[in-house]
Structure formats: structure tokens, C-alpha cells
Amino acid sequence: MEIDHIFILCAVDAPEAAALRRLGLQEGSSNTHPGQGTACRRFFFHSFYLELVWVHDLKEAQHALVRPTRLWERWSMRQTGACPFGVVLRGGCDASTARVPFPMWDYAPPYLPNGLVIGVALDTPLTEPEFFYLGFQRQRARLGQEPVVHGIPTKDLTDVTIGMPALEPSSEAARIVERHGLLSFDLSREYILRLTFDEASAKSTADLRPELPLVLDW
């Protein structure tokens, strides 16, 4: 089990991407999710990517098929208490050892081919990140098709910390992902995502608040 990507819910068209570009990150391809009502801008790294997501079609985002994902609730309430992060996992390169990581329900969004589903963790409160599982994904999406060399030396993602007002996550999914060493939780007055690349060997940090609830270490 690996982290495939993490998303941050942003304003329409994600103007927050400017903070990443000023830092020297090369923006990759954007994407839309037909039938789900969301769109995104993406920044790719060697085995992981960061996604800035917003709702662009309110009707689609509130459709009966999509509503259980709570993407609409998280996006519309991101400034009033909802956690704006989503953590998307993949099974990893070895299909024989891929396991369902936590209790989940199957979401079949219109933009995926027939037969493919996204696992959505059960019983995650809006005050914690949403967790998803791509059982069909073995490596980072669009490998070899996106820029991964940036103006700052960021190669391998080596640590993920999510700061939350409540230190102890209550959902089973959050506890399982933390127990597997994929991320950790920290006490914070506000939601904050901290990504560490290459074990912070360059001893450099960029705090992108208030534009983005994001800190990068490399």
C-alpha cells in the first residue's frame, strides 16, 4: 500500500497553485472528473502527485451517485470546519500483496471505465481527511508524461504529516493508515498538510500559508 496522491480542496480554478509555481514547481496537466462535478490542477513528483481540487459543477457534485463521497460537503465547508484534505492510496506494484487497507464502500464514478471502482473509507468524520483506495492502480498516474524536475530538489516523498485540531483520529481508516507508517497526525490549531521530500536532506522549508494549508520540507 502506497500513497498515490493527496488532494487539497481549493477555490474555483485553484488560484492557490500560484504559490507552488512561485516556489519553482512545474505544473503538470490539469484534469476534470465528468459526472462528479470536480476539476483539478496537478503537480507531479517521482512516485506521488499533489492535486488541487475544486467543485466546478454544483449539480453534478450533489448528484445522488456522488453525494456519499462528501466532496461537496468538504469543499463547501472547507473554511468552516471541514478538513480540506483527501488521501488516495494505491495497492503498489506487487498485485499479489495488495490488500484492502480499511473498511470501505465501492464508488463507481462516471469517468472510470466499467468495472473499476474507487474504495471510499467508511465512517470518516468531516473533521479528518477523506481516505480513498485505488485497488487497480499499481504506479503513479501518467508516469513519464508529466514534469517531475522542479526548481527545488524534490524527488521522493518520505514523510506526510497532517495537522488537525484534534490530535487523535477517530476513524478506523485514519488509524490504519497511520499504523502502516504512511502518514502521521499532529495537533494543530488549523488544518495543515506537511510534505517532506528526501528526508529534508537540504534542510529547506517553505510554508505556503495563508494561500495553501501546506508546508514543504526538502
> What is the pLDDT confidence band of residue 97, given thresholds at 50, 70 and 90?
low
More confident residue, 18 or 169: 18
E strands within the chain?
2-9, 31-33, 38-44, 49-55, 85-90, 104-107, 118-121, 130-134, 157-164, 184-187, 192-197, 205-207, 214-217
What pTM value is reported for the model?
0.94
CATH (domain of 98) = 3.10.180
Average the pLDDT over 165-193 and give the result.
93
Containing domain of residue 109, as a range? 2-217
Q: Total domain count for the chain?
A: 1
Q: Which of 50-59, 96-105, 181-190 has the lowest mean pLDDT?
A: 96-105
Residues 107-120 have pLDDT tens digits of: 999 999 999 999 99
Can you tell me the distance from the alpha carbon of 68 to that of 74, in angstroms, rounded to the nearest whole number?
A: 11
